[in-house]
Amino acid sequence: MRTASLTTITLIFFAANSLLTRGALGHALIDAPGFTIVRLATGALALAILLRISRARSAAPSAGSTPRDNGSWLSALWLAGYAVGFTLAYVRIGASVGALLLFGGVQVTMIGIGIARGERLRPVDWIALAFATSGLVSLTLPGATAPDVVGAALMIGAGACWGAYSIAGRDARDPLGATAGNFWRATILAVLALGWSAHPDAATPNGLALATVSGAVTSGVGYTIWYTVLPALGAWRAALFQLAVPVLTGLGAALILSEPLSGRLLAAAILVGIGVYLSTKRS
pLDDT value for 282? 55
Delimit the domains of the chain by residue range. Answer: 2-57+70-280
Q: Which range is least confidently modeled, 23-27, 37-41, 156-160, 239-243?
A: 239-243
Q: Which range is least confidently modeled, 174-183, 204-213, 242-251?
A: 242-251
| Tens of pLDDT, residues 117-130 | 777 777 877 887 78
Q: Which range is least confidently modeled, 3-17, 26-40, 80-94, 138-152?
A: 138-152
d(Cα 219, Cα 51) in Å, to the nearest integer?
15
Q: Which of 22, 23, 12, 81 is nearest to 242 (CA)?
A: 12
Question: Quick one: pLDDT band at residue 283, thresholds 50, 70, 90?
Answer: very low
The two counts, helices (H) then strands (E), for the chain are 12, 0
Query: Can you tell me the mean pLDDT for 240-244?
Result: 76
Q: Which residues contact 88 (CB under 8 A, 6 or more apart)?
A: 32, 154
Q: Which residues contact 225 (CB under 8 A, 6 or more apart)?
A: 6, 9, 10, 13, 175
pLDDT value for 142? 61
Q: What is the pTM of this model?
A: 0.83
d(Cα 147, Cα 92) in Å, to the nearest integer?
8
* DSSP codes, 36-76: HHHHHHHHHHHHHHHHHHHHHHHTSTTSPP-------HHHH
Burial class (CB in 10 A: 0-12, 13-18, 19+), 191: middle
pLDDT, greater one: 92 or 124: 92
Tell me if 135 sits within 8 A of 268, measured CB to CB: yes
pLDDT, greater one: 14 or 122: 14
